[in-house]
Amino acid sequence: MVSSRRSPTKVDQSVTASSRELIFERPWTAAGIWAATLGGWLVLLWGATNMDSPAAQLAMPTGEWSTANWFAVFVMWAVMMAAMMLPSAAPMAMCFSALNRRRGDGARTFFFVAAYLALWGAFSGAATAAQWALQSAGWISPMIVSMSPVFSAALLLIAGVFQFSPIKLACLRACRSPLGFLMNDWSDGLLGAWRMGMRHGLYCIGCCWGLMALLFVGGAMNLLWVVALAALVAIEKLAPKGELVARLLGVVMIGAGVVSWTRPLLA
């Protein structure tokens, strides 16, 4: 299995089709993505409405973390990242699937999406370790809600400033342009599809890590907060003038950070 990094010699017309046309052309790919997304949100909804269940309690450790706690918290983060990120990644995956279908490489789509989710799985592992460290320091509660106005302010300010950074804007442009990504980062073969999924995942994490960090502010167990952040990610990536939206979000986050920082001083 040899992988070569090169652009497709012919741009398939379906790559530039609308999202609706791509769904009709690749219904099984669309169904798989949205089924996984729906499944993830249903698991999150179940956890948010059944917090007294043994499984949910494992994901909200109050004392020393056991191996079961570590596993449950990681699964919670991994399911949450998949549910939040798959909708905004769907246009990229659909374009990739449509192009591979015409090239006779349908299996590559599975490797692309699997690599994308694997990278977010690694991010979930880092988030799990961060939760343990922050909870041990007393900065967040077992519900993963910030207990420190200074910590909340710091996260809001860091995430807000990052919205204006060249790294954020470059990663956002890559995420907003499926055709540009596919033409510039194309690799043949199954291994090439895996590498492309990893690269797209890196762009996605580079674009969204600041917003994901705000889960520690409003609470990763707060389903409304999770939905709001997922919606903001989708708006940045998919809506017209997404880069302008990102900057406006940066202004709002910086303002919220300043308020959170100064409120204890004024009390």
Rounded Cα–Cα distance for residues 65 and 85 (Å): 28
Q: What is the pLDDT of residue 17?
A: 40
- Chain-centroid distance of CA 178 in Å reads 16
pLDDT value of position 15: 37
Confidence of residue 205 (pLDDT cuts 50, 70, 90): very high
pLDDT of residue 25: 52
Quote the pTM value: 0.86
Give the pLDDT mean for 140-160: 94
The pLDDT of residue 102 is 66
Alpha-helix residue ranges (DSSP H) falling in 104-148: 108-136
Give the mean model confidence (pLDDT) for residues 41-66.
91
Chain-centre distance for alpha carbon 69: 23
The pLDDT, as a whole number, for residue 262 is 85
Choice between 185 and 58, residue whose per-residue pLDDT is larger: 58
Of residues 170 and 32, the one with the higher pLDDT is 170
Q: Residue 135 — pLDDT band, cuts 50, 70, 90?
A: very high
Single out the residue of 119, 16, 14 nearest to residue 111, CA to CA: 119
